[in-house]
Amino acid sequence: MKALVKLDECLRIAKRAGADIIINGLKQDAVDEVRKLTCDLGAAPTLTQAVQMVRPGGKVGIIGAHPKDYSFDSWSVLTKEVSIIPVFSYAKWGTKVEFEIALELLAAGKLNAMSLITHKFRLTKINDAFLTAIN
């Protein structure tokens, strides 16, 4: 598992979850580090960096919904023949349902899911839970 983080708390969570490689985006050049790790083939943690990192002919997924317009180097997308794919929800990886993949990772002990739980709330405190998640 790999993680690209910019907050110290995210770094701690990534370590607890079992990330074996963690790139601190505030202290390291994320593009250079990912290129080194992938033998210059690339990966895609953010749209702007993804266009720089992704290999020629690669795919970049935009996961979730964002209220602002995206900005990226469209010339690199064109010359590298990069596919940008919007993903509104987590569904499938190829033909395999992603929840199935997650369950397999959990069952194999490759993901420490308990370390991802930082707070617990009673259902009557659901508003507090959402406020905590936002902050």
- For residue 95, how many C-alpha atoms fall within 13 Å in the half-sphere facing its CB? 0
pTM of the model as a whole: 0.37
3-state helix, strand, coil in the chain (%, to 5): 45, 15, 40
Indicate the average pLDDT of the chain.
76
**Coil/strand/helix, residue 66:** coil
For residue 85, the model assigns a pLDDT of: 81
Identify which of 13-17, 26-30, 81-85 has the greatest average pLDDT: 81-85
Q: Which of 64, 41, 62 is nearest to 52 (CA)?
A: 41
Whether the CB-CB separation of 54 and 42 falls below 8 Å is answered with yes
Query: pLDDT tier at 43 (50, 70, 90 boundaries)?
Result: very low
Q: Determine the pLDDT at residue 93.
A: 73
**Residue 106: pLDDT over 80:** yes
- C-alpha distances (whole Å) from 1 to each of 10, 80, 110 are 14, 26, 8
pLDDT at 42: 47
